[in-house]
Each structure stands twice: as C-alpha cells, then as structure tokens.
Amino acid sequence: MPVATAPPARQPKQAAPTAPPQPPAPSRTPDAPTAPTAPPATGGARGVVLHNISWSLYESLLEAVGNGWPHMVYDDGTLEFKMPYAPHEITSWFVDHFITAYCEELGISFVAAATTTQRRESKRGGLEPDQAYYLQTYEAAKRITEMEPGTYPPPDLALEIDLASTSVNKEDVYARLGVPELWRWPDDRFVVLALAGDTYRERETSPALPGFPLDRLTAAILAFPDTPQLDAIRDFRHWCRDHAASSTSPSEA
C-alpha cells in the first residue's frame, strides 16, 4: 500500500501593506480667493465674480488691466468683472453725447471723466462708472490729471446702465464713495438718484443738470436704430439751441 504523505504546510498570509498616514488638508485662509462664479448673463453680458479678494490684489489687477475693459466692481472683498456688449455701449454713447451737447450749447463748464476708476481703500469700494461728469466741482476737477489714482474726488454725476444682472450692490458702493448723483437705466427708463446721507433717494429731475430733458434722451435711445445716432444728436443740438435762445442760460458751476 502507498504510504500517505502529509499535505504541505500552508504559508501564513502576509499582512497587506498599510498606506502611510496623510497630512491633514490645509485649511483655507480667510483671504484666499474662492473659485470664480458667473452671475446670470442677460442681453449678451458676461461676468465673473471672485470672493475674498484683498484690496492689494484689487489694486494689482487695476494696474494690470488699466482704465478700461473689463470693468471691475470691488465691494468689500467681492470683485466682479464685466465685459462690454453692444446694447450697453450704445446706450452709454447716447447719454454721453446728449450731456456733452447740452453742456456745450448752454455754456455749462464740465469735465467728462468717462469710465475713470473711482476707488477708496478706506471705503472698501471701487468701480468704473459707465460715464461720469464733474459739474459743480469743475474747478477742482480741472486738476484731476495731476492727482494720483485713488485720490480723485467723486464725480458730481455718474451713470450706471442696468441691462444685465449683477452680484454686487453698486448703489451702495457709489454711496460709500460719496457720489452725489447717480443715473440708472433699468427697464427702458432713467431713474435719477440723489445721495441723502448714506443712501440714495429718487428725484424727478437732475440736481447736477437742472433742466436736462431726460424724456428726450429716453426717446432717442428707444428710437434707435429706426432713428440713427447722427440724426438723434443733430436734432437734440437744435433743441438745445432753441432752448438756450428762449430761456436764461444756467450759471456755470
């Protein structure tokens, strides 16, 4: 009979290697920018929003971009970028040309600051208006080219064309910067806001430009493109001349 043999001894299982301990994930510092978000785009507008942005980073971005596009709004750590689009720019063109024509024809001295960045670190705010004008403070504003950026006086009148959604409260930023008057364009109409304390209140007419015909400006914007821009501004200049001839010209600021 064959001799029985013992089965081979089973080798002990080797323990699976354990992963080395992982260092704890670094915690986010309060000043670390968060991932950008995009506010809802309307009318062709495009925007990006960053949070937890320091003032020094905001100023560095201003230096890199310069005074132009994209427009930036800084509101106490929140930074919004907006790019141009046709309806916004055409509306801005109408406002600027009508205000310029009105002042020229009626002999009102002004400094047009356009989209010059207005900012104050102490107010934790900064932005570029769609248009801006020095009227009552014309004498001081004549020397604006000699001033350092960030020290410009607030314009007497600023324009915000509200054709797109936004993630920041621009009105609050304007108020903190001390801009006395703000024109807004929501829903195909102008809203005139005058600063009272630290908030804006709606007015029927413009304190900075008494007598300015907002109804004519509104009609010209809404009539485009059926009425070309050239025809609109030419007709408005004729109206200004007739108005100046039939009334006493306002005194210069």
Tokens 């609109």 locate to 232
Q: Which of 241, 187, 223, 217 has the alpha carbon at shortest distance from 96?
A: 217
Is 172 inside any structural domain? Answer: yes
For 76-113, list the strands marked E by DSSP.
78-83, 111-112
Q: Which of 167, 205, 7, 17 has the alpha carbon at shortest distance from 79?
A: 167
Is the model more confident about 17 or about 195? 195
CATH no. for residue 162? 3.90.1570
Q: Which of 132, 134, 104 has the alpha carbon at shortest distance from 237?
A: 104
What are the φ and ψ backbone dihedral angles of 37, each rounded to 5 degrees?
-125, 155
Structural tokens at position 81: 């970028």
The reported pLDDT for the residue numbered 22 is 54
Looking at residue 123, its amino acid is K
The reported pLDDT for the residue numbered 96 is 98
Is 60 inside any structural domain? Answer: no
- Provide the residue range defining the domain that includes 198: 84-246
pLDDT average, residue stretch 180-193: 96
| Whether the predicted pLDDT of 170 surpasses 50 | yes
Is the model more confident about 85 or about 164? 85
Is 39 inside any structural domain? Answer: no
Is 68 inside any structural domain? Answer: no
What 3-state DSSP class applies to 91? Answer: helix
Is 7 inside any structural domain? Answer: no
Is the model more confident about 15 or about 99? 99
68/70 Cα distance (integer angstroms): 6
Please tell me the least confidently modeled range out of 26-30, 123-127, 200-204.
Answer: 26-30
pLDDT tens per residue across span 73-111: 999 999 999 888 899 999 999 999 999 999 999 999 999
Cβ neighbourhood burial of 175 (10 Å; 0-12, 13-18, 19+) = buried
The reported pLDDT for the residue numbered 68 is 66
Is the model more confident about 126 or about 165? 126
Helices (H) and strands (E) in the chain, counts: 6, 11
Each as own residue / partner, the long-range contacts of residues 225-229 (CB below 8 Å, 24 or more positions apart, any chain) are 229/90, 229/93, 229/94, 229/97
96/128 Cα distance (integer angstroms): 15
Q: What Cα–Cα distance (Å) separates residue 29 from each residue in 53, 78, 125, 184?
A: 12, 16, 22, 37
Is 111 inside any structural domain? Answer: yes
For the chain, list the strands marked E by DSSP.
46-50, 71-75, 78-83, 111-112, 118-120, 125-127, 131-134, 157-160, 181-184, 191-196, 199-203
Residue 42: its H or E element? none
The reported pLDDT for the residue numbered 162 is 84
User: Considering the chain, what is the average pLDDT of its residues?
Assistant: 85
pLDDT tens per residue across span 208-224: 999 999 999 999 999 99
Looking at the 3D structure of the chain, how many domains does it have? 1
Which of 10-24, 164-178, 203-217 has maximum average pLDDT? 203-217
| Whether the predicted pLDDT of 251 surpasses 50 | no
pLDDT tens per residue across span 144-161: 888 888 888 999 999 999
pLDDT tens per residue across span 32-61: 565 455 444 444 456 799 999 999 999 999
The reported pLDDT for the residue numbered 146 is 87
| Whether the predicted pLDDT of 119 surpasses 80 | yes
Is 134 inside any structural domain? Answer: yes
Is 143 inside any structural domain? Answer: yes
- Position 10 confidence tier, pLDDT thresholds 50, 70, 90: low
